[in-house]
Chains A and B, each alone.
Chain A
Amino acid sequence: MTTNTLKQPRPDFINIRDFSFFYGKKQALFNISMEIPERQVTAFIGPSGCGKSTLLRNLNRMNDLIDDIHHEGDIVIHDKSIYDPHIEVISLRKRVGMVFQKSNPFPKSIYENVVYPLRVAGQNKKHILDETVERSLRGAALWDEVKDRLHESALSLSGGQMQRLCIARAIANRPEILLMDEPCSALDPIATVKVEELIRKLKEEFTIVIVTHNMQQATRCSDRTAFFYLGKLIEFDITQKIFSNPSSKQTEDYITGRFG
């Protein structure tokens, strides 16, 4: 990962090729093709139910946990198909971390929540865990609030704190790619600002894909924006371009709030 920062970022770090996705018979994504650049923030926007989360969850194959799904097309990260049978899903998920729409801390202590990715990777050295906890919690702008109660249950936190804890957990093992599904939907404006700052900081190291319903947020912290509608990718471009001069009428209607 550190070597990555030295190299030139790749414009096609995540390459989605003609990707369609089905929940049973119901098709949720239609022939999506896009290239997500390395170490930039890419925002997915679109009306509710258009398939943003579905696509996001496919990037680390979280959809595998759902019964009766299948896909067409391919997703290639760093020149390797994530559906290659030789690829272990587990290591894929270690590379591609995820923050969910709904916060989902484990019923464990704050400390154990954060170090969970390290523990499952076999890391049990106390000084490494301690260091990770502090770094990740600082990264998620939560350190000052919880540093005195690290060993209390994570469920004693407020909703916004829990979401930041989940972010801390997602970055604890320093994945290459961080997927964030509406990470700020449960946060107050101050925490939101903190997370947005965090996103801007994280993109120096990580490739970030973020789903958001907040247009301001997309403009504030993303480099590129993809607009989805009814499972199709309508437009994908530099964020400024999308918000100032969208090429599609649908995109324009959506971002100006004249939708549906």
Chain B
Amino acid sequence: MPTHENLPEHATGQNRFRTAPATLFMDRFMTVAIKAGGALVITSVLGIFVFILLQIWPLFAPASVVEARNIQLPDNNYSIIGIDEWGALPFLMEPDGKMLTADFETGEIRKIPIDFGENPPPKFTATTLNKREQDIILGTNDGRFFMVSPKYSSSESDGRQLITINPKASPAEPIGIPGQPVQTIAYGESGSQKLVVAIQPDGDTNRISASLYKRKRSLMGAGKTALAASFDLTPLIPGTPSRIIVPGTADSVIATTADGKVHYLVQNGDSGFSLAQTFSPFSDLENPEIATAAFLFGDVSIVFGSESGANRIFSLYYPEGGDKRLFGLTHEFPSLGARPNFIASTLRNKAFLLGGGNALSLRYSTTDSIRWEQGVPYDPVNAVISGKYQRMAVLDSENKLHFFEIHDPHADSGWKALFGKVWYEGSSAPKWEWQSTGGSDDFEPKYSLIPLIFGTLKGTLYAMVFAVPIALLAALYTSQFLDPGSRAMIKPVMEIMASLPSVVLGFLAAIYIAPLIEDEVPSLLLVAAGLPIIAASIGFVWSRLPIEFRKFIPAGREWIVFLPVLLGSGAFLWSLGPAFEAIAFAVTDPATGQRVGDFRAWWPAATGSTFDQRNSLVVGFMMGFAVIPIIFTITEDALSNVPKSLLTASMACGASRWQTALRIVLPTASAGIFSALMIGLGRAVGETMIVVMATGNTPIMEWNIFSGMRTLSANIAVELPEAPHHSTLYRTLFLGAMVLFLLTFAVNTVAEILRQRLREKFKTV
């Protein structure tokens, strides 16, 4: 080609259309690398998600109960079943006072003689079991009772646990009418006293006698128990009691009569007993008769089963406004469908087994849930659950003993426990409550997430109420009214504020702000109410000033005049606080009888809500500080990114700066502002350290600004060190994390949809 003759080779050769191999390689390599990286990120996020789900799932899983083996026992009329802690060696009592054990591992049945130290051996007419110690109490035909302690021991052999039993009987004690056979016996034992109640025939009627034993304190430590008093309870109970139960507190007696009534007798010191309450659990049923009744673990609630299978739980609590602890219906379960023969409770939680009419049903009182239910091809007549709630032994009418393995680590959990209102023992109504640890052994953890979700929302709300107006107005002012010189300084300062670690803010809040606010609430109120008014009036006065004054201050630098005035009046208002407090928040000082201004005392008196030093106001204030820079910077960017051409167009139409800001800039930037709010909200929802440090972390449910809260995130931080691996608490914390995630996810999704709408609506050319 002649025209190319004088061009160099690189400008004419075909090589100039080639792509360098390195470019191609890089291009392909980066494509693969980026894809792999993306896939990795998605997989790990999903992995975390799956992990959390796996942690949470068992909270909602039903109990697994499987029959492991059964052992045919010799025919006899076994009165009670007891079991060791591990569920390996249950014992049954024969009517003649002999003990029979059935070994779960080997299936071996052994008769264990008990030495009562009498010849001829005593004749027994009544038996009961003290569940806590698995002690057997035997009433004799001559008005006495023996107590037999099974004395289980566990040893290790060949790496296997070996459980042995070595029952010991203590010498007989007389009860009630001497020489009269004991028909029914009940026993309760607390740390300081024992209560034995017996029913004996007394002529044509029955006599109910109670013996109270007290532990004597001696110099050598805990001494022997000795009879302290005997009482005749017969006159207290109308009708003939068919069943008596004594709780582990050994200070009251529950007697049920054949007409389906329950009589609750309480001890009044040493002087005797009195009837505190009579109630009828099944009064609304056709047959109100009580088929079976037993205390649940903790001895505060009684499970009743009616002849028809109805199942209700009555618990002791102080009724609203009452000063006496009485029984009231707290839980109702579906009917078993047949007469329940027994109720077996555990020593670990509020679960109980109800059996009868070819059905077994494992239920959990607190959460009203049926953990497991099954029809069985036999009629269960008695059962016992091991102390660790791992195994149970069910005796059927053919004297076959069925062993079940229970796997139900999170019996106290479930939808209801986590999200529903739950009627916990001791409270007077169903509530949402969080309390993971308590003082006593029979403390029942309360795992409702609702107070935490509430706390999260409360903290977020107060933070946003404080932060949003300030951040938005500041961003609007900075982007639309401030001169560029000052703007160039403000933005980086705000960005530094955004990067302040929240632990620093929390520390500041707890150590400095909280005590300050505690004393100066009236000052704070004055400033909060006064400053906006003053600011607005300064603006008004300024706009009315003749131009001769205004022209000294260039547009955008009005703050040079405003700031000193604002600060000055703010300080002035603050100093008015004590005077304001004396006028508006006066209370009568109980010590001197004088009227003094004291907001801390005034608030609870006036509103009935509490005043805590570390309260929502502090949190809102400090969390607001954490959120303001974020909202501010993003909003400022959004506002500044509104095309200049729109501003000039608006100005050219004769709009003022304010009109332009309001009518053009704000709507156009609304999508960005919305994102800013949502990101701020996300930060506030997930904020942990400030809340942990600046509130009392009390999981309460009230909007009171002067009380604290506990948020989901703070809850995780506070509880995690105390949560044993794979415990209900541990899993509940994961659930809390999941709820937090879902909360922010929901907020973000809604926000994103709205943002897209806004962006579509206000998109610029």
A interface list, Cβ under 8 A from B? 60, 62, 65, 67, 85-86, 90-91, 93-94, 97-98, 100, 102-108, 116-117, 119-121, 153, 155, 162, 166, 169-170, 173
Contact = CB atoms under 8 A, between A and B. Distances in A.
Given A85-B547, A107-B761, A155-B765, A120 B646 contact: no
Given A67-B484, A106-B649, A120-B663, A93 B765 contact: no
Contacts of B484: 67
Given A65-B644, A100-B649, A170-B652, 7 more contacts: A93-B652, A93-B653, A104-B643, A117-B655, A121-B654, A155-B765, A173-B654
Interface in B726-765: 761-765
Contacts of A117: 653-655
Given A120-B659, A162-B765, A107 B667 contact: yes
Contacts of A105: 649, 765
Interface of B: 484, 547-548, 551, 643-656, 659, 663-664, 667-668, 761-765
Nearest to B759: A107
A62 B651 contact: yes
Interface centre among B647, B653, B668 (most CB of A within 10 A): B653
A62 B652 contact: yes
Contact of A116 (B643, B653, B656, B763): B653
Contacts of A116: 650, 653, 655, 663
24 contacts: A60-B652, A65-B644, A65-B647, A67-B484, A93-B652, A100-B652, A103-B765, A104-B648, A105-B649, A106-B650, A106-B664, A107-B646, A107-B667, A107-B764, A116-B663, A117-B654, A120-B653, A120-B654, A120-B656, A121-B654, A155-B765, A162-B765, A166-B649, A170-B653
A155 B654 contact: no
Given A65-B651, A86-B547, A120-B653, A107 B668 contact: yes
Contacts of B653: 93, 97, 116-117, 120, 169-170, 173
B108 to A, nearest CB: 88
Contacts of A62: 648, 651-652
Of B547, B548, B643, B765, most A-chain CB atoms within 10 Å: B765
Contact of B655 (A65, A104, A120): A120
B547 A104 contact: no
Given A85-B547, A85-B551, A155-B764, A106 B651 contact: no
A57 B761 CA distance: 30
A102 B659 CA distance: 22
A125 B313 CA distance: 71
A170 B648 CA distance: 12
Contacts of B651: 62, 65, 93
A70 to B, nearest CB: 12
A170 B650 CA distance: 10
Contact of B649 (A60, A91, A94, A104): A104
A65 B651 CA distance: 9
A201 B514 CA distance: 72
Nearest to B484: A67
Nearest to B662: A120
A94 B547 contact: no
Contact of B646 (A60, A86, A98, A104): A104
Nearest to A175: B654
Nearest to A96: B652
Contacts of A170: 652-653
Contacts of B652: 60, 62, 93, 97-98, 100, 170
A104 B663 CA distance: 15
A155 B763 contact: yes
A166 B659 CA distance: 19
A166 B653 CA distance: 10
Contacts of A86: 547
B648 A91 contact: no
Nearest to A159: B765
A90 B655 contact: yes
Which of B551, B647, B648, B656 has the most chain A CB within a 10 Å cutoff?
B648
B761 A93 contact: no
Contact of A100 (B645, B664, B763, B765): B645
A2 to B, nearest CB: 19
Contacts of A67: 484
Contact of B763 (A60, A107, A121): A107
Nearest to B762: A107
A166 B650 CA distance: 11
Nearest to A61: B651
B672 to A, nearest CB: 13
A86 B550 CA distance: 11
Nearest to B652: A98
A106 B645 contact: no
A173 B656 CA distance: 15
Nearest to B547: A85
Nearest to B667: A107
A121 B656 CA distance: 10
The 6 A-B pairs with the shortest beta carbon distances in the complex, nearest first, are A94-B654, A104-B645, A120-B655, A117-B653, A98-B652, A104-B649
A27 to B, nearest CB: 21
Nearest to B644: A65
A63 B647 CA distance: 12
A198 to B, nearest CB: 18
Contacts of A108: 667
Contact of A119 (B548, B646, B663, B762): B663
B326 to A, nearest CB: 68
Q: Which of B484, B659, B668 has the most CB of A within 10 A?
A: B659
In this complex, the member of B646, B649, B654, B667 whose beta carbon has the largest number of chain A beta carbons within 10 angstroms is B654
A93 B654 contact: yes
Nearest to A63: B648
Nearest to B551: A85
Contacts of A97: 652-653
A236 to B, nearest CB: 25
Q: Indicate the member of A60, A100, A116, A153 with the most B CB atoms within 10 Å.
A: A116
A170 B123 CA distance: 115
A62 B664 CA distance: 17
Contacts of A60: 652
A215 B649 CA distance: 27
Contacts of B645: 100, 102, 104
A188 to B, nearest CB: 18
A62 B763 CA distance: 24
Nearest to B655: A120
Contacts of B762: 107
A116 B653 CA distance: 7
A94 B651 CA distance: 9
Nearest to B556: A67
A257 to B, nearest CB: 30
A220 to B, nearest CB: 25
Contact of A90 (B644, B647, B656, B663): B656
Nearest to A92: B654
A231 B322 CA distance: 94
B191 to A, nearest CB: 77
Given A119-B663, A162-B765, A90 B654 contact: yes
A57 B645 CA distance: 13
B642 to A, nearest CB: 10
A94 B650 CA distance: 11
Contacts of A102: 645
Nearest to B760: A153
A190 B337 CA distance: 90
Contacts of B659: 120
Contacts of B644: 65
Contacts of B668: 106-107
A23 to B, nearest CB: 14
Contacts of B647: 65
Contacts of B551: 85
Contacts of B650: 106, 116, 120
A120 B656 CA distance: 8
Nearest to B659: A120
Contacts of B664: 106
A179 to B, nearest CB: 8
